[in-house]
């Protein structure tokens, strides 16, 4: 069965009706136009680590979202990650992309694809994507990694090596911000078995960006999501009943607090509600890496944050059961 890819629709003059969002979702209507509150930007080169820890914890409480600059990943490593991803989507023949397509019904996200979540209204998102695990090594299946461009594997493995260090530092700061020992959140999320899933989002040029969305509003089910965008803005975050544009900062990492951190902290930290808009003139791309517990890991509010006065706000369950409910839009 041939699947229609959004990239094949990028030359259309009109937007097919299945991509037109309802009025309460259309970015042309719902995007806030006015002074935008300052979305946190955190400088990781600050010599005062306690100031970094406080800034990250404050951002996680208030926004569930921040941008990280001077994070230690060389700009050339990020540029190479972006180059090979862009070449896969824009230069590799379609039949070669289809050879690593997601396997329907396999229970795995991995591979090249278009439709991810059920949309209760039968609507579609304006995006094609590629998923593959990058860590730990035992979870990597190179079958779903592009063979072309030739440096694809090298670029992704180099980026992952640096990203693991950034993830560790983020989890330390978030732990300290909750008054915990710095190792607690990482251990509660799977320790050395935390799984990193790379996704490349490709949002083709769109004839009516005011009516469509690249990704509809959602929170991430991960522990953390660490993302690199290209230079085409499009990420929006929801705060104080408004959708705000997140400005593009060259070489910054975008960090989302995921559902599992909200659960572990029993609601102290917030998982960010966000969505992606698209553009008419230029394709947008992003490279989120979802840092998540292994499927059999049991996650629930940490006992330190549960009491008679502050009961558990979330169920304790295996991460794979949480993920199943989330993807299928079932109550947790």
Task: Return the active site residues.
Answer: 199, 218, 220, 274
Q: What is the DSSP letter of 31?
A: B
Q: What is the DSSP letter of 101?
A: B
φ/ψ (deg, to 5) at 97: -65, -45
Length of the chain, in residues? 332
Instruction: Show the beta-strand stretches assigned E in the chain.
Output: 41-43, 65-69, 111-113, 128-135, 195-203, 215-218, 224-229, 235-239, 242-245, 253-257, 274-276, 284-292, 298-299, 317-318
Closest CA to 270 of 311, 239, 299, 300: 239
Name the CA radius of gyration of the chain, rounded.
19
At a CB cut-off of 8 Å and minimum separation 6, what does 266 contact? Answer: 301, 302, 305, 306, 310, 312, 313, 314
CA distance 1 to 4: 10
The alpha carbon dihedral of 60, 62, 66, 71 has a sign of: negative
CA angle, corner 33, sides to 27 and 39, nearest 5?
A: 95
- Show the tokens assigned to 25: 């979702």
């Amino acid at each position: 069965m041939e699947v229609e890819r959004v990239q094949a629709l990028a030359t259309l003059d009109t937007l097919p009706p299945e991509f037109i969002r309802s009025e309460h979702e259309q970015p042309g209507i719902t995007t806030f136009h006015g002074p935008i509150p300052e979305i946190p930007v955190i400088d990781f080169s600050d010599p005062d680590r306690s100031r970094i820890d406080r800034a990250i914890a404050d951002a996680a409480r208030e926004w569930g979202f921040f941008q990280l600059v001077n994070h230690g990943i060389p700009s050339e490593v990020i540029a190479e990650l972006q180059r090979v991803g862009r070449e896969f989507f824009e230069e590799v023949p379609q039949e070669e992309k289809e050879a690593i397509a997601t396997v329907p019904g396999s229970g795995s996200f991995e591979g090249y694809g278009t439709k991810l979540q059920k949309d209760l209204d039968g609507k579609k998102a304006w995006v094609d994507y590629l998923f593959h695990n990058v860590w730990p090594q035992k979870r990597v299946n190179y079958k779903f990694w592009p063979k072309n461009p030739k440096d694809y594997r090298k670029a992704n493995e180099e980026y992952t090596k640096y990203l693991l260090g950034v993830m560790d530092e983020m989890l330390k700061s978030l732990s300290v911000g909750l008054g915990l020992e710095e190792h607690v959140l990482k251990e509660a999320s799977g320790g050395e078995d935390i799984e990193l899933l790379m996704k490349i989002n490709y949002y083709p040029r769109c004839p009516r960006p005011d009516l469509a969305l690249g990704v509809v509003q959602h929170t991430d089910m991960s522990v953390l999501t660490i993302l690199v965008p290209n230079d085409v803005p499009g990420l929006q975050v929801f705060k104080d009943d408004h959708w705000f544009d997140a400005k593009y900062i060259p070489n910054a990492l975008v960090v989302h607090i995921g559902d599992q951190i909200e659960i572990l902290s029993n609601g102290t930290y917030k998982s960010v509600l966000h969505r992606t808009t698209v553009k008419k003139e230029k394709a947008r791309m992003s490279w989120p890496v979802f840092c998540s517990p292994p499927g059999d890991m049991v996650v629930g509010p940490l006992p330190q944050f549960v009491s008679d006065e502050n009961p558990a706000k979330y169920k304790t369950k295996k991460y794979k059961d949480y993920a199943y409910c989330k993807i299928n839009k079932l109550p947790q």
